[in-house]
Amino acid sequence: MKFLTSLSVTFLLLMSVTTSPVAKADIASALAGICDVVASDNKSRFRKKIKEAGVKLRNIYDGISCGGENLVRYAMQKNAQDTGTFIVKRMPSSHFESSGDADWAAANGFGGTDIAKEIADR
């Protein structure tokens, strides 16, 4: 019995050593086309891409830009209300206090969108 326990512990340790975390290249390939998904306002595909990449949106948000804008502004430009509000809900409210997204939305005619309202609510 002791042998079996030590064998199973050894097996688990070997598995944890040989399993490497997702490489940056794998994350990039998993997130390829994320801008197209946002533009098409497909919230479920957006969620699936984030999940397949194995990352949290808040950890990669600053590294993604679509058309020179962050994801929320890009969603506003493309009228992707469902995906845009989903993104806002997944980000910490402290992010929007300093991002200037609400001011940008008001200045560019997107102040009345559901996304801008969600930012204001946070």
79-108 pLDDT, tens digit per residue, is 999 999 999 999 999 999 889 999 999 999
Does residue 42 lie within any of the structural domains? yes
Q: What is the pTM of this model?
A: 0.75
Structure tokens at 92: 């910490």
Full domain range(s) for residue 44: 22-121
- Counting the structural domains of the chain, the total is 1
Grouping H, G, I as helix, E, B as strand and the rest as coil, residue 66 is strand
Does residue 17 lie within any of the structural domains? no
Average pLDDT, the chain: 82
18 confidence band (pLDDT: 50, 70, 90): very low
Does residue 15 lie within any of the structural domains? no
What pLDDT is stored for residue 15 in this prediction?
A: 45
Give the Cα-Cα-Cα angle 104, 66, 83 (nearest 5 degrees).
75
Structure tokens at 31: 């997130």
Structure tokens at 121: 């609510």
Grouping H, G, I as helix, E, B as strand and the rest as coil, residue 30 is helix
Q: Within 10 Å of residue 107's Cβ, how many Cβ atoms?
A: 10
Q: Exposed (0-12), middle (13-18) or buried (19+): which is 115, by Cβ within 10 Å?
A: buried
Does residue 4 lie within any of the structural domains? no
Does residue 60 lie within any of the structural domains? yes
In this prediction, residues 60-73 reach a mean pLDDT of 92
Structure tokens at 39: 């533009």
Does residue 32 lie within any of the structural domains? yes
Does residue 91 lie within any of the structural domains? yes
Structure tokens at 87: 């993104």
Does residue 34 lie within any of the structural domains? yes
